[in-house]
Structure 1
Amino acid sequence: MENVLIEYLSDKEILLIIDNCEHLIDACAALAEKLLQYSPKLKIIATSRESLRCDGEITHKVLSLDHPDLMKKVTPIQLVQYEAVRLFIERALAVNPNFRVTNDNAPSLAQICYQLDECFL
């Protein structure tokens, strides 16, 4: 498989995104270095909770979005003060222009934003 990728990418100008590298950090690092060695036009974005430690690697720390504390009851007006909730609302409106934060869905929305912060994205 690795050789097929190298052959395919060798003369292409491509941005390759490798997500969740922390689960297989050494394998992802080895693959990235090998692909870059044989594909001079290739650029890679790798997401991980830790550095790949590859030659030429540039790291950028992306902080979590703030989200509501589940121990506190919040109103819809209070919820929209949180970055994670605003992003959720923006994406929800993109697929359902009638979406609104209400007293009924506010607890679920807070729970979703909290749980997503715990995920490796």
Structure 2
Amino acid sequence: ITAGEKDFSTLVARLKKENIDFVYYGGYHPEMGQILRQARAAGLKTQFMGPEGVGNASLSNIAGDAAEGMLVTMPKRYDQDPANKGIVDALKADKKDPSGPYVWITYAAVQSLATALERTGS
């Protein structure tokens, strides 16, 4: 699948022909929305699932009712853990959103680098 692609009729026809009942799509919402809409129009009953890249309001705007029942995987919400309140407060004070899917893995990576630099004196 190519970013920006709009015609997924070949893919939808293949899914239908092979009677595929589940698809995990690892892309983004613009293409997923088109796939869902075209699959629904073709009468496909396949269950679709995707990552946080498809889990936003734009998906529904593109796919319409065809987005109903779409499953989305999301990373854990570390900002809701009381143990992280200090970090959440610091991020909010800096006008940052602590709920984003990459905030916490990025924060942990920077912490690891800072610790390594500190310990090695670099």
TM-score under structure 2 length normalisation: 0.40
More helix by share: 2
- Report the TM-score when normalising by structure 1: 0.41
Structure number with greater CO (CA < 8 Å, separation at least 6) is: 1
